[in-house]
Amino acid sequence: MNGNRYLLDTNAIIALLRGNQQVLQQLQTSEWLGISIISQLEFLSFSGLSENDREVFDQFLERVEVIGLDPSQGDLIELAIQLRQQSRLPLPDVIIAATAMHANAALITADQELQTIQALMVVAFVP
């Protein structure tokens, strides 16, 4: 796994946009940065989102790769199914974890439950 590839969990996106120094520092050396389509949906569906929040997020999206769930990515879908069957984690969390694994990236998250997935490289931060 390339230690300079990172996929951001939804909570990491929020922390980054709020200027969390721990997340900002971690991303200083990134060669690739991505998010799951699930995180994009979670962020944009927040009812308290301001117009400024949307604009900042749109600018953020220009700098990252958004990985979707496409039927042609059978291995990503199969990995998500396996992780869901092996854990009690909510399906959105499992899809985000599987996306990080599929992208050969470390997942930046504050969610301690995601750290229970043994095959997942996690970079934890304090929100």
30-53 pLDDT, tens per residue?
A: 999 999 999 999 999 999 999 999
List the structure tokens of 88.
């009690």
* 99-125 pLDDT tens trace: 999 999 999 999 999 999 989 999 999
Total tally of structural domains belonging to the chain: 1
- Across the range 69-97, mean pLDDT stands at 91
Q: Tally helices (H) and strands (E) across the chain.
A: 6, 5
Q: What angle do CA 96, 112, 87 make, to 5 degrees?
A: 60
Query: What pLDDT, on a 0 to 100 scale, did the predictor assign at position 88?
Result: 87
Burial of 70 (0-12, 13-18, 19+ CB in 10 A): exposed
* Count of CB atoms situated within 10 Å of the CB of 72: 7
Query: What pLDDT, on a 0 to 100 scale, did the predictor assign at position 50?
Result: 92
Query: What pLDDT, on a 0 to 100 scale, did the predictor assign at position 1?
Result: 47
Query: What pLDDT, on a 0 to 100 scale, did the predictor assign at position 3?
Result: 59
What CA–CA distances, in Å, run from 6 to 2, 10, 51?
A: 9, 13, 27
Q: Which domain holds residue 63?
A: 5-124
Task: Say which DSSP state 41 is in.
Answer: H
Q: 94 near 63, Cβ under 8 Å? A: no
Assign residue 69 the CATH number of its domain: 3.40.50.1010
Say if residue 57's pLDDT is above 80: yes
